[in-house]
Amino acid sequence: MKEILEELERRRSEARAGGGGRRIDAQHAKGKLTARERLDLLLDEGSFEEFDMFVEHRAVDFGMAEQKVAGDGVVTGWGTINGRVVFVFSKDFTVFGGSLSNAHARKIVKVQEQALKVGAPIIGLFDAGGARIQEGVDGLAGYADIFLQNTLASGVIPQISVIMGPCAGGDVYSPAITDFIFMVKDTSYMYVTGPDVVRTVTHEEVTHEELGGYRVHALKSGVADGAFENDLEALTQVRRLVDFLPLSNREAAPMRECYDDAERAEPSLDTLVPANPNKPYDMKELILKIVDEADFFEISPDYAKNIICGFARMEGATVGIVANQPQVLAGVLDIDSSRKAARFVRFCDAFDIPLVTLVDVPGFMPGTKQEQGGLIRHGAKLLFAYAEATVPKVTLITRKAYGGAYDVMSSKHIRGDINYAWPSAEIAVMGSKGAVEIIFRSEIGDPEAIAAREAEYKARFANPFVAASRGYIDDVISPHSTRRRIARALRNLRGKELSNPWKKHDNIPL
């Protein structure tokens, strides 16, 4: 028995050594941790249970029969994050560049299936060179199996991808189907085809970073939901995110002990909105002042900054916050912000996370660029997402709620449950200047008459009371009481039941 146990230990340590000391050193020299070091940081200490440590590929072409490494370039299994189960896979770049063979794919599919069966999140750590070139079509088949599992699990268990090195070719589409993608600054990049192929096809000279670094995806394309300084920060932040999320759509999000008084008044909010309606203010200040302990996990903080999305807690329970940001493009809804928020709203609805919407929106962004880019269809995504959402929806209009954007931002008309406004709210078809120039066009040459018309329009519409008189707003509340009022609204809605008509699935304007 002693010898058998020693043999087990020998095989285990061989598998743990991955591609060997030289390649591990090269990994460290690039500022990256190894697949196993990453799992140690992601999971609670000592909680990792590994599957398929001894799996090997079966390829024989190109001398592969003689090159086998136990585990085959991916470490899979499960562990816990603050005591709650998560499934994981972590690509090992030191073994064939983390490239995907059929056996490697089967390991990933096994944890995907298990996560779905058990009802627990799955987190993938990516650092790999795409399909194992020596394996040909077997690798492609393996990718498709993974994509299928990703798709089936969408909306059932949270799926999180962290890009911590190269993520090329077939590797990009699994993260793309998951709920959140995070990147590590400067050491990770994501693209469908790399710089060499780009050079051949389009004669464009481009670096890995220019083609698919975090600056591309976390700032411009919106493919990534955030970027972190290094492996440690990325994994720590993923732990923090998981704490906000339910394990699956069958369970409620975890309740956290709340040390923040739900009745807490915040007098400084009474002066948050400037007297001049065109002056910006920071909507994040409002978020941080009303949520529990100012703890806010922002999604895509550097992309489409005119809308803010993220998770927070009210009285210990997770909420999804969506808020226009008047500091960026006056908080206007454009293509990018509509897509960003629509995805977030749908995630929250799928996982039963109540939505708190903070509105200060001057409308949809005008212009040829936006129209040619399909603002109609992309704006409709957000409208659709809010309209179909059946989770508790609490809305607060702080200042502007103009035009179609008023309807879209979780208004009463699309099943907002409790809708509040501050006294500074202006709920109207458009701003006074634009409105007067249209309805009193014949008076445009007469500045005095126009000024009088504007004053008349403002007096009539630049307030929340017309909407309140129709019942479109449930109450006009004092800014300092916002935390208390929203917390109470959410408490009131805990028993909410609402369902949509039966359908195979919807046809959201994609």
Residues that bind ligand HXC (CB under 6 A): 23, 96-97, 99, 129-133, 140, 143, 166, 168-170, 173, 194
- What's the min distance (Å) between Cβ of 113 and ligand HXC? 20
Look up 128 and say whether it is catalytic: no
- What angle, 0 to 180 degrees and rounded to 10, lies between the N-to-C axes of helices 447-461 and 432-439? 120
Residue 465: both structure tokens together: 């009371």
Exposure string over 89-105, b if 16+ CB within 10 A, otherwise e = bbbbbbbbbbbbbbbbb
Under 8 Å between Cβ of 353 and 391: yes
Note the residue count of the chain: 510
Look up 403 and say whether it is catalytic: no
Residue 438: both structure tokens together: 């249209």
- What angle, 0 to 180 degrees and rounded to 10, lies between the N-to-C axes of helices 283-290 and 482-492? 60
Where do we find the tokens 């990770």?
188
Helices then strands (H, E): number in the chain? 19, 16
- What's the min distance (Å) between Cβ of 144 and ligand HXC? 7
Under 8 Å between Cβ of 341 and 371: no
Look up 487 and say whether it is catalytic: no
Look up 405 and say whether it is catalytic: yes
Where do we find the tokens 């917390």?
487
Q: Of 139 and 226, which CB lies nearer to ligand HXC in the complex structure?
A: 139
Nearest residue to 400 via CA among 429, 436, 380, 440: 429
- What's the min distance (Å) between Cβ of 169 and ligand HXC? 2
- What's the min distance (Å) between Cβ of 505 and ligand HXC? 24
- What's the min distance (Å) between Cβ of 408 and ligand HXC? 35
Give me the catalytic one of 128, 405, 462, 468: 405
Q: Of 129 and 158, which CB lies nearer to ligand HXC in the complex structure?
A: 129
In angstroms, rounded to a whole number, what is the distance separating the alpha carbons of residues 474 and 462?
Answer: 17
Give me the catalytic one of 169, 194, 226, 320: 169
- What's the min distance (Å) between Cβ of 343 and ligand HXC? 22
Residues ≥6 apart with Cβ < 8 Å to 222: 300, 303, 304, 336, 339, 340
Q: Of 129 and 464, which CB lies nearer to ligand HXC in the complex structure?
A: 129
Q: Of 143 and 344, which CB lies nearer to ligand HXC in the complex structure?
A: 143
Q: Of 105 and 490, which CB lies nearer to ligand HXC in the complex structure?
A: 105
Q: Of 216 and 468, which CB lies nearer to ligand HXC in the complex structure?
A: 216
What is the DSSP pairing of strand 49-51 with strand 355-361? unpaired
Q: Which residues are catalytic?
A: 169-170, 404-405
